[in-house]
Amino acid sequence: MEFKLLLKKINDSLTDEETKIFEAWYNESPKHRNYYNRVKKNYPEGLDKVNVDIGWKAISSKINNRKRWRSYLKFAAAFIVLLVAGRLWLMHNTEQDAPLKEETVVSVKNHIEIGTDKATLTLDDGSRIALEKGNTYQTDKVSSNGERLVYKGDDTSSKEHIAQNTLTIQRGGQFFLVLADGTKVWINSETQLKYPVAFMPGKARKVELVYGEAYFEVSPSSEHNGSHFLLYNENQKVDVLGTQFNIKAYRIEDEIVTTLVEGEVFVGSENDLQKLSPGYQSKLKVGRDEFTLSLVDVYDEISWKDGIFTFKNKSLEGIMEVLSRWYDINVIFKNEDIKTMTFNGVFRKSQRIEDILDIIQNTNEVEFEINQKTITMK
């Protein structure tokens, strides 16, 4: 965490994006929280009155672009910054070296693994290949380094049959995929995607989200002779020209949620498509044909692909469902009433589940118990 963000937090001048970065860092461990509190306590009075960026701009405008003076001023500015930050730097190192008594030691018996990059690739002939860190896979059409799977584009105009591959991401996993047309796909835990290994020129590029959640950065139609990108699900179709969007269609949930980041898409049933604008989210109730549109905070919906959980007024039941997929755990609620309790928080996916649960417990007074891979909320 940069000192600049800590100081801006103390001055209450963080942007919305910086606030989310700070909250994720702050919630990551007791060490971070203790460090921030010490910075705040020892914050030099009056420093918030100095705007370094404005000050530098005002001074440099008077230099007449002389390189010699610019180098002197940059040296002087760096020296001043070191003087101001020196006390905080010393405090930082002292804090990092000092043992924290409140750190919890988790027994091996109850240790829950953090999710990682892994997937199963099922080829057209039914054979399966395990993809995970440390393992490589390569043919003349596709390659994987264990963290991503990349297909090579080619001309399929003379082919009668185009092979279909399926990528399955288990609980506790995630993966990155580049389709043959250059479309990039971030795939979340407990998700299955079916797609062709190549695309026919002039034909629609069809891909199926069997279930789960994925973020698409679609290669524009202008680069493929106007061919649309069509994403299918059992209950919904998304017609894309070239854009970025997130779609969530988990099997246990009764709605399909599509969030548009940029560009333009049409969503809905096969014969009833509605336009979705950037910043808007559609929800389709499965089996009831109920379709709604609403304006949302896009980052909250897509932060998972950047390694961050963002929960805003989300029910405890909903939060635990998200966490159960990433940490591959089972969740039991002993008290049904606490399922609807809401919580706000930003966490990194690299955090231990124990640290996240500790914060939820201290905030909402909800107790939890870990036994093997089962978490009981009470």
DSSP string, 175-222: EEEE-TTS-EEEE-SSEEEEEESS--TTS-EEEEEEEEEEEEEPPPGG
Going by the DSSP 8-state scheme, the letter that residue 303 receives in this structure is: G
Coil, strand or helix: which one is 87? helix
Residue 28 vs residue 99, higher pLDDT = 28
Pull the structure tokens for residue 339. Answer: 């399922």
Beta-sheet strands, E only, within 236-339:
237-240, 244-249, 255-262, 265-269, 272-276, 280-285, 290-295, 308-315, 330-333
Q: How confident is the model at residue 137 (pLDDT cuts 50, 70, 90)?
A: very high
Given the structure tokens 């297909």, which residue do they identify? 151
Strand order from edge to edge, sheet including 374-377: 330-333, 374-377, 368-371
What separation, in Å, do the N-terminal and C-terminal C-alpha atoms of the chain show?
34
- Across the range 304-313, mean pLDDT stands at 94
Cα dihedral 33, 37, 39, 43 in deg (nearest 10): 160
Q: How confident is the model at residue 158 (pLDDT cuts 50, 70, 90)?
A: low
Q: How confident is the model at residue 46 (pLDDT cuts 50, 70, 90)?
A: very low
Residue 361 vs residue 32, higher pLDDT = 361
Contact 344, 19 (CB under 8 A): no
Q: Is the dihedral of CA 101, 104, 109, 114 positive or negative?
A: negative
Cα–Cα dist 214/353, whole Å:
23
**Amino acid identity for residue 121 in this structure:** L
**Do 116-301 and 307-377 come out as alike in CATH topology?**
no
pTM of the complete model: 0.73
- Across the range 219-238, mean pLDDT stands at 92
Please state, for a pLDDT cut of 70, what percent of the chain lies above it.
Answer: 77
Contact 258, 292 (CB under 8 A): no
Cα–Cα dist 229/239, whole Å:
6
The residues spanned by each domain of the chain are 3-97, 116-301, 307-377
CA-CA distances (angstroms) from residue 88 to 83, 85, 91?
Answer: 10, 5, 5
Nearest CA among 207, 245, 212 for reference residue 325: 212
Lowest mean per-residue pLDDT among 105-119, 169-183, 254-268, 314-328: 105-119
CA-CA distances (angstroms) from residue 190 to 114, 120, 213, 250?
Answer: 15, 11, 8, 8
Q: How confident is the model at residue 290 (pLDDT cuts 50, 70, 90)?
A: confident
Q: Note the CATH number of domain 116-301.
A: 2.60.120.1440
What is the pLDDT, as a whole number, of residue 157? 53
Topology (CATH) of 307-377: Phage tail protein beta-alpha-beta fold (3.55.50)
What is the pLDDT, as a whole number, of residue 159? 65
Coil, strand or helix: which one is 369? strand
Q: How confident is the model at residue 23 (pLDDT cuts 50, 70, 90)?
A: confident
